[in-house]
Amino acid sequence: MTGNSILRIRYSKLGKIRFTSHRDVARIWERTLRRVGIPVVFSEGFSPRPRLGFGLALPTGYESAGEYLDIIASPSSEGDGMFDGVGYASGRRFDVDQLPDLLSRALPEGIDVQAVEVLTTRGESLQEQVVRCGWAFEIAGLDPHLARERVKEVLDLLSLPTTREHKGAVRTDDLRPAITRLVVVGPGDWGTWLEADLSAKPRVVRPSELVQVLAPDGELVHARRTHQWKEQAGAHQEPISCDATLAPHAMVRVL
């Protein structure tokens, strides 16, 4: 079989399942693809593994409306853009349009496939492409008025040195350039909801780091990734094209 396809998948991770780890989600995908019978390509060697490309890790406990996965799959030899089911699905054929529904039904509650796109060219991996993420999060112990003041102060700063621990060593970073958007949404059950766009390069900046800055005594009680952006022609764009199947969340935002 020549000419493998890359199936790029956008999916959510919402509700109780957010407490699983990145690794757990990878295992869930492996089992699901086997059950559904997607013709995933396996690596060579002693212990062949399905060739899956996971995007940026999502911290355990965080929700996401926009996670990504690349699946290397072999298209049907008939050359009609369909996929021939394998294993439990042998004899069946899949159209890409059917995949969001088929996969979502086999995935656990909280993980739903929103869009699948067949990538024509083998570009950069998800990890390389994504430069920025959109986040929504709730800080307990922070009142919305105070939050607005703090946000204004932070955005007015030219630099925002913060320290964090990395592999046992204390590092100082300037957090300010990583923040391209920060707004207060309003009160929540525990405190205040905010939204932010934070850079993912050279490292993924997390909402928990903003808690340190905005409310040192506060506690992050909810965090949800809403978007992932790649940079294209001066604009930020989700790493899946706009007309991808059933992709309500895949949209372009011009900065």
Residue at token pair 């406990």 = 61
CB atoms within 10 A of CB 95: 12
Structure tokens at 30: 């492996």
C-alpha 137/C-alpha 53 separation (Å) is: 27
Q: Binding to another protein by residue 60, rule CB under 8 A?
A: yes
Shortest approach of another protein to residue 46 CB, angstroms?
4
- Choose one: 4-12, 71-79, 86-94, 169-177; the region binding another protein (CB under 8 A): 86-94
Q: Residue 242: how many CB atoms within 10 A of its CB? A: 11
Find the binder of another protein among 220, 240, 247, 250 (CB under 8 A): 220
Smallest gap from Cβ 247 to another protein, in A, equals 25
* Rounded distance between C-alpha atoms, residue 66 and residue 68, angstroms: 7
Does 109 contact another protein by CB under 8 A?
yes
Please identify, using beta-carbon distances, which residue of 21 and 163 lies nearer to another protein: 21
**Residue closer to another protein, measured from CB, 12 or 245:** 12
31 binds another protein (CB under 8 A): yes
Nearer to another protein, 50 or 53 (CB): 50
**Nearest in space to 39 (alpha carbons), one of 79, 80, 78, 88:** 88
Gap between the Cα atoms of 171 and 209, Å rounded: 13
- Interface region with another protein, contact rule CB under 8 A, candidates 2-10, 20-28, 147-155, 209-217: 20-28
CB 114 within 8 A of CB 11: yes
Of the listed pieces 73-81, 94-102, 174-182, 215-223, which binds another protein according to CB under 8 A?
Answer: 215-223
The answer to whether 23 contacts another protein (rule: CB under 8 A) is yes
Tell me how far apart the alpha carbons of residues 205 and 132 are, in angstroms, rounded to a whole number: 9
- Is position 34 an interface residue for another protein (rule: CB under 8 A)? yes
How many whole angstroms separate alpha carbon 250 and alpha carbon 117? 11
Binding-site member from 77, 80, 87, 252 for another protein (CB under 8 A): 87
* 46 binds another protein, rule: CB under 8 A: yes
Whether omega before 202 lies within 30 degrees of 0, making that bond cis, reads yes
The reply to whether 30 sits near another protein by the rule CB under 8 A is: yes
Under rule CB under 8 A, residue 108 binds another protein: yes
Closest CA to 59 of 159, 161, 135, 170: 135
Q: Which of 53, 110, 187, 188 is close enough to bind another protein by CB under 8 A?
A: 110
d(CA 255, CA 253): 6
- Interface residue list for another protein (CB under 8 A): 16-17, 19-21, 23-24, 27-28, 30-35, 46-48, 60-61, 86-88, 90, 106, 108-110, 140, 190, 219-221
